[in-house]
Amino acid sequence: MQKKTEQQRTELKDLGEFGLIRRIQQQFAPKHSESVLGIGDDAAVIDTGGENYTLVSTDMLVEGIHFDLSYVPLKHLGYKAVAVNVSDIAAMNGTPKQFTVSLGLSNRFPLEAIDELYAGIKHACSNYNIDLVGGDTTSTRAGLVISITAIGEVKKDQIVYRKGCQENELICVSGDLGGAYMGLQVLEREKQVFMANPDMQPELDGKDYIVRRQLKPEARTDMVYELRELGVVPTSMIDISDGLASELMHLCSQSEVGAILYEEHLPIAKVTYDTSVELNIDPTTSMLNGGEDYELLFTVKQEDYDKIKQNAEIIEIGYVLPKEKGVVLKTKGEQIVPITAQGWKHF
């Protein structure tokens, strides 16, 4: 009797999120001329005629993976779920217009809890001037699952992809980094203290800024408008969801270039720096590898420097190198060290 061959099993953690995305992308090439860009950027790009492209982005938040309801208020969660999708539209230099919400719910959530979630979603609708136009609900045994699809638009001559930057261009970010990551560390610390002694009150004095960065991040749609007013179209752009190092590697990989960042130029709020030191975490590590800041990382041409320097929230942190130079960091001690992506791993 012939022995049955054991089927090979590949672990997803060995492939990684982006390895899985590339594998899927290779199997599904767009067939319609309207599908300008499918998988591989912050949003899909569809040509529906006229002077604008339509942008479509989907993101999913899963309880126990992306959020912990022991310290995340449902109202904040609803707001954040919308904001992270709006951020993807902003990363294409676009304007959000509509979105849908799909929920997977277990029976432990009463109506009042769902009302709280949608109160946060409604607040995001108002803040980002975006319409809720549909969705779906279903039961699940996995706790709470939120899936949002955001739809936006951008003028065809204004769209910005992850690819497109060239040598000697400036690398910029739209604000300070590492705050959301340190906010998460503080919340996790206080959770452990509470579990050990429920009578203990959380010690969050002076940590409001970083806690807010984690619980209620803002999509930088304001920066999209600012860049338009300055007359600047970035040559490449991505939002910082998985950490600065990881996102920079994406820009460099898709543009086939290298890059140098200057440690002394990386922007960090004082409370983020102080909390990193307090928790024995290198502040530079917080900035490079901490995720969920949802700031915009982008490149601009050298000739645009005089325009962007007018905006205090646009910080120049490095410039683009030839591909063979790699992606590196120049430390405050004048050392050149390779940058590796150590941000959020999904599997």
The whole-model pTM stands at: 0.91
Tell whether 191 and 329 lie within a shared domain.
yes
Residues 86/150, Cβ–Cβ less than 8 Å: yes
Range of the domain at 108: 41-155
Domain finish residue from 155, 189, 205:
155
Tell whether 243 and 301 lie within a shared domain.
yes
Tell whether 45 and 183 lie within a shared domain.
no
Q: Can you give 154-207 as a three-state secondary structure string?
A: EECCCCCCCCCCCCCCEEEECCCCCHHHHHHHHHHHHHHHHHHCCCCCCCCCCC
Question: Tens digit of pLDDT per residue, the chain (347 long)?
Answer: 555 556 778 776 766 666 666 676 666 677 777 888 777 788 999 998 899 999 999 999 999 989 999 999 999 999 999 999 999 999 999 999 999 999 999 999 999 999 999 999 999 999 999 999 999 999 998 789 999 999 999 999 999 999 999 999 999 999 999 999 999 999 999 898 877 877 666 778 899 999 999 999 999 999 999 999 999 999 999 999 999 999 999 999 999 999 999 999 999 999 999 999 999 999 999 999 999 999 999 999 999 999 999 899 999 999 999 999 999 999 999 999 999 876 545 54
- CA dist., res. 130 & res. 124, Å (int): 8
Number of folded domains that form the chain = 2
Tell whether 139 and 180 lie within a shared domain.
no
Residue 3 lies in a domain: no
